[in-house]
Amino acid sequence: MMTLVKNSKLWLSVLALLGTLFLGSVQASPVDTYEFSDPVTQKRYQELTKELRCPKCQNQNLADSNSPIAADLRQQVYNLLNQGKSDMEIMSYMVDRYGDFVLYRPKVKNMTYILWFGPAVLLLLGVGVIIFILRRKPQAKEKTTLSAEQQDKLKQILKD
Amino acid sequence: MNKLIRLLPLVVCLALGGVLYQGLFLNPQELPSALVGKKMPDFELSTLSGETVNAGDLKGKVKLLNVWATWCPSCRYEHPYLLEIAKSERVAVFGLNYKDEKEPANQWLQQLGDPYVFSIFDQQGTLGLDLGVYGAPETFIIDGDGVIRKRFAGVIDARVWQSEFLPLIEQIEAEQQGS
């Protein structure tokens, strides 16, 4: 009896372990699968759903999200691809309806200059400051070295 | 001058802190609609009662288009206030029954009351997609020329009505009297 209980416990834990394995694969599996006539279109579909943001679950792209609206938009991307629309046309179709927000890579325009170029400007500023500080240091050191006269005087004092 | 430069990092830090602090109070769900200022997209769909309607059938000087569904609990919460708005007859209230089933939707209107002039039955969500709808409830304010003036995502209650809707409705009314 005892061994049976032990065994069942063992089995339970094995089952639980296996269960967690499946859980992981369920979460990672794509939500829906579309058939594509050629691999190029499939690649474009994957790229587009990666580039487009889900408007409801805002930190996920369409490919990642399980929300109904993301599924709808994936369907729409698929439809538009099948209609022979270009990537640009599909992107602007989405922007016309959901705004610039659906683009994970924001457009370069007046409002987003600081977003695109801010980090580079800050980096340059930082480099500039470092160069400025480094250049100044040797000068400060020179000042602390003694002049020839002072050196002589120092030697004299040390001798005494 | 040198002293002022020393204060610069502090000033920059404070400014950055201020900007980020403000960000804490922004609602990321409040997205500007891409359709504000544009014409209501055209459509041809049937209503819940079975007639075929298009964008031209949304009549009225100022109208609301309320996106709702029976699967949406917040819509049920919002419903009594919509009835009140409809009763006041200040604006025409139209419904967009979004990705729903016909029978439960009609039942809902029978049981809870029908605030809508009519409800467009958008089972596939095609009009919803053209409007940039991503959930329910959502409400659009459309002016007399059929131009979308506002998109509000969320539940309308007395507070929201006072602060988000009435000022714009008054403004639209004033514009239309002027023209």
pLDDT tens-digit profile, chain B (179 residues) = 677 788 888 999 999 999 999 888 877 666 767 888 899 999 999 999 999 999 999 988 899 999 999 999 999 999 999 999 999 988 999 999 999 999 999 999 999 999 999 999 999 889 999 998 988 899 999 999 999 999 998 899 999 999 999 999 999 999 888 76
CA distance B178 to chain A (A): 31
Tell me if chain A has a CB within 8 Å of the CB of B130.
yes
Distance CA B148, CA B65 (A): 10
- The pLDDT tens digits of the residues spanning A95-123 come to 989 888 888 888 888 888 888 899 999 99
B120/chain A closest Cα distance in angstroms: 19
Q: Which residue(s) pair with B151 in the sheet? A: B140
pTM for this prediction = 0.72
Picking from A55, A76, A95, the nearest residue to B134 by CB comes out as A55
Residue indicated by tokens 């041809």: B44
Interface mutation vs chain B, best among A65, A72, A75, A92, most B CBs within 10 Å: A72
Give the CA distances from residue A117 to residues A51, A113, B90, in Å, rounded to whole numbers and listed in that order: 20, 6, 49
Q: Do A99 and B32 touch (CB under 8 A)?
A: yes
Residue type at A23?
A: L
The pLDDT of residue A13 is: 74
Q: Across all residues in chain A, what is the average pLDDT? A: 81
Kindly report, residue by residue over A118-140, the tens digit of the pLDDT. 999 999 999 999 999 898 866 55
CB contact under 8 A, B132 and A97: yes
How far does Cα A120 stand from its chain's mean position? 17
Asked if residues B92 and B60 have their Cβ atoms less than 8 Å apart, the reply is: yes
CA dihedral A138, A141, A142, A144 (to 10 degrees): 170
Spatial separation of the C-alpha atoms in residues A8 and A36, rounded to whole Å: 47
Nearest 10 degrees: Cα torsion A141, A147, A150, A156: 100
- What would you report as the CA-atom Rg of chain A, rounded to the nearest whole angstrom? 33
Q: Which two tokens stand for residue B135?
A: 């959930």
Would the CB atoms of A69 and B135 count as touching at under 8 Å?
A: yes
Residue of B146, B133, B129, B140 whose CA lies nearest to B168? B140
> How many Å lie between the alpha carbon of A9 and the closest alpha carbon of chain B?
42
A101 DSSP β-pair partners: none
What was the ipTM of the complex prediction?
0.76
Q: Do B35 and A69 touch (CB under 8 A)?
A: no
